[in-house]
Amino acid sequence: MKSSCEFLVIGAGAAGSAAAWRLAQQGANVTVLEQGGWVAPDSSPSLTFGWERARHRTHHPNPNIRKNSWDYPIDDSDSDISPMLYNAVGGSTIHWGAHFPRLKPEDFRVKSLDGVGDDWPLSYFDLEPYFEINDRMMGVAGHDGDPAYPSKPHRIMPALPLGAGAERIAAAYDRLNYHWWPVDAAIMTADHGDRLACNNCGPCDLGCPRKSRASTDVTYWSDIHASKIRLITEARVSRILSTSGRVTGVTYFDAQGNPQEIQAENVVLAGNGVGTARLLLLSAADWCPNGLANSSDQVGRNLMFHPTALVTGIFPEAMDGFMGPFACSIYSQEFYESNADRGFVRGFQAQTIRSDGPLGSALGTYTLPVAWGAGHHEDFYSQFGHTASITVTSEDLPESHNRVTLSPTLKDRFGIAAPKISYRVSENARKILDFGIEVNRGVLKEAGATDIRVVDLVTSAGFHLLGTARMGSDPKTSVVNEFGQSHDCPNLYIVDGGVFVTVGALNPTSTIQAIALRAADSMVGAQILESSR
């Protein structure tokens, strides 16, 4: 007999975990299907001597390199940027850096304010109560009073220490009169329950045996309400079943590779901007030949990544950047907004990042690799422990040719078509990157760097998978409404970063999760929380 449920959530990553938890908290009957399994925090390679090697092989954020059995391949041969993600309970938060900014109020009104992209059907203030729930669930360290945002609730845990590199950069920002602030980080700086304060070890992306760095397997899934959810792991959904205008369930391959079917009153998709678009396209049927929920032809389109450049300063003094959370110290939003004199619209976030262990420094994971040949050792020792970097994380605007489609040839291990990514960095983003590189050069010079190296596009920085199932009020130009509800199938919801209309220039996860929580309230007909402003 086929089993059935009220809400079937696909994907237990950042968004799916938050949505499933909220649905369960509201009393709904929830089943979650996740193609990966559990990753025990104490299985992190950061406890072993081979940690750096694992990071570049078995634990690489690129599924095409890692090739874990939970993964699916992605054809990125037509893309300037390679997508990075993880497939497990916790999703990509198993690997993420936990830099936890919110999009800004103006990011939701880019069309009205700057004449580009589109406005969202919801605002920052609509999400505000849900940002707050999510902050409590994930655990956020930070410092109150960032002038770049409307006031946020008091950060209970203190911000992370800056480290030597960011201290230099912060002082340079002060001299140049530029904004900077310690980042909100989804990292504990104080013990709470079984989550211990961060011990500054460095490679957050390898997982955190102390559970200091949040990932949804140790946040949402350890909460009491999650115990009411039926979670089926190693279950790869192959198709969402539908009849005209309604979804009825899904088919999936279980851990033994056997095909299964499950019926559902509602399906909630949280497979991320690539996984969700893939599944919608795979679920084409007679009544929707171009893919499920795709009467607008927007499924898979408008893929946005946040193209990123990296400017690295080499300092004569030791910066010890191998200590401390790699992605989290300070950021600057000095050049975030449009300025007509610059020849481009919108702007960039400058995120200071720490450095790496010996192998990461040599390979130059995101920076340039150390030179090979006669100058190798000199180059290595001038860099190792002596660098600090600043990203240019640029605004990425929606363009319909940047998209996810189905590969006609590449398949996963179950024979299901793999996604294909076609993505080109836009002229506007390229101008932002070039401008930001020059700004960051100036900052690092002011900070005392004696050598500056630039990666003008970090092709492996495809961490943010956004825009491929955009929300909007008009069914002709959007896939879902402001609550993630499909215009074509009212009992199908999408709650991951695919629903972003525009993406600002900030890391998206806290906004993705706030959207998922709000959508969950609407699915069960609960009162939508309102901002207290």
Ligand X SMILES: Cc1cc2nc3c(=O)[nH]c(=O)nc-3n(C[C@H](O)[C@H](O)[C@H](O)COP(=O)(O)OP(=O)(O)OC[C@H]3O[C@@H](n4cnc5c(N)ncnc54)[C@H](O)[C@@H]3O)c2cc1C
Q: Is 48 in the site for other proteins (CB under 8 A)?
A: yes
What is the distance between the alpha carbons of residues 522 and 533, in angstroms, rounded to a whole number?
Answer: 21
Q: Say whether 234 sits in a helix, a strand or coil.
A: coil
To other proteins, the closest distance from the beta carbon of 57 in angstroms equals 8
Considering the rule CB under 8 A, would residue 156 count as an interface residue with other proteins? no
Task: Give CA–CA dist 81/421, Å, rounded.
Answer: 9
Beta strands in 55-115 (DSSP E): 75-79
**170: partner contacted, choices ligand X, other proteins, none (Cβ within 5-8 A by kind):** other proteins
Indicate whether 112 belongs to the interface with other proteins (CB under 8 A).
yes
User: Which of these segments, 108-116, 301-309, 450-458, 499-507, binds other proteins (CB under 8 A)?
Assistant: 108-116
- 240 is a contact residue toward ligand X (CB under 6 A): no
CB 100 within 8 A of CB 184: yes
Query: Binding of ligand X at residue 32 (CB under 6 A)?
Result: no
One residue of 212, 272, 329, 333 binding ligand X per CB under 6 A: 272
CB atoms within 10 A of CB 151: 9
- Within 498-517, the residues that bind other proteins by CB under 8 A are none
Span of 298-306, 362-370, 498-506, 522-530 interacting with other proteins by CB under 8 A: 362-370
> Per-residue DSSP letters for 356-382?
--HHHHHHTSSSPPPPPSTTHHHHHHH
Q: Which does 15 bind (CB under 5 to 8 A by kind): other proteins, ligand X, none?
A: ligand X
For residue 144, which of 177, 181, 170 has the smallest C-alpha distance? 181
| Side-chain-facing half-sphere of 80: CA atoms under 13 Å | 18
Q: Which of 264, 512, 520, 523 is the binder for ligand X (CB under 6 A)? A: 512
Number of residues that bind ligand X (CB under 6 A): 42
Does 202 bind other proteins (CB under 8 A)? Our answer is yes
**Smallest Cα–Cα separation from 155: which of 196, 187, 201?**
187
Residue 51 as a binder of other proteins (CB under 8 A): the answer is yes
Q: Closest Cα to residue 156, out of 177, 126, 133, 135?
A: 135
Q: Which residue's CB is nearer to other proteins, number 249 or number 436?
A: 436
Q: Is there binding between residue 30 and ligand X (CB under 6 A)?
A: no
Selected binder of other proteins within 27, 259, 316, 369 (CB under 8 A):
369
* CA distance from start to end of the chain: 51
- CB-nearer residue toward ligand X: 7 or 315: 7
Size (the chain), residues: 533
User: Among candidates 484, 116, 498, 469, which has minimal Cα distance to 296?
Assistant: 469
**Per-residue interface string for the shown chain with ligand X, residues 307-346, x marking contact by CB under 6 A:** --------------------x-------------------
- Nearest residue to 172 via CA among 308, 315, 364, 382: 315
Contact 100, 183 (CB under 8 A): yes
Contacts of 374 (CB under 8 A, 6+ apart): none
Of residues 298-357, those binding other proteins (CB under 8 A): 318, 322-324, 333, 336-337, 357
Site string for ligand X, 383-412 (x = CB under 6 A): ------------------------------
- Name the one range near other proteins by CB under 8 A: 90-98, 109-117, 297-305, 521-529: 109-117
Rounded-to-integer distance, Cα 303 and Cα 195, Å: 35
Q: Does 22 bind ligand X (CB under 6 A)?
A: no
SS3 call for 31: strand
Binding residues among 87-116 for ligand X as defined by CB under 6 A:
87-88, 91-93, 95-99
Among 256, 286, 341, 372, binds other proteins (CB under 8 A): 372
Q: Pick the stretch among 28-36, 39-47, 241-249, 388-396 that binds ligand X (CB under 6 A).
A: 28-36
Q: How far is CA 109 from CA 29, 89, 118, 121, 321, in A?
A: 36, 33, 7, 9, 37
Q: What is the largest CA-CA distance in the chain?
A: 70
> Is residue 117 involved in binding other proteins (CB under 8 A)?
no
CA torsion through residues 90, 92, 97, 100, sign: negative
Contact status, residue 500 vs residue 467, Cβ threshold 8 Å: yes
Q: Return d(Cα 143, Cα 153) in angstroms, integer.
A: 10
Nearest to 143 by CA among 128, 162, 157: 157
Window contacting ligand X (CB under 6 A); options: 168-176, 397-405, 481-489, 508-516: 508-516
* Site residues for ligand X per CB under 6 A: 10-16, 33-36, 61, 84-88, 91-93, 95-99, 205, 236-237, 270-272, 275, 279, 327, 463-464, 496-497, 507-509, 512
* Site residues for other proteins per CB under 8 A: 44, 46-53, 56-57, 104-106, 108-109, 112-113, 123, 143, 145, 147-150, 158-162, 167, 170, 174, 179-182, 189, 197-203, 209-210, 318, 322-324, 333, 336-337, 357-359, 362-363, 369-370, 372-374, 376-377, 381, 384-385
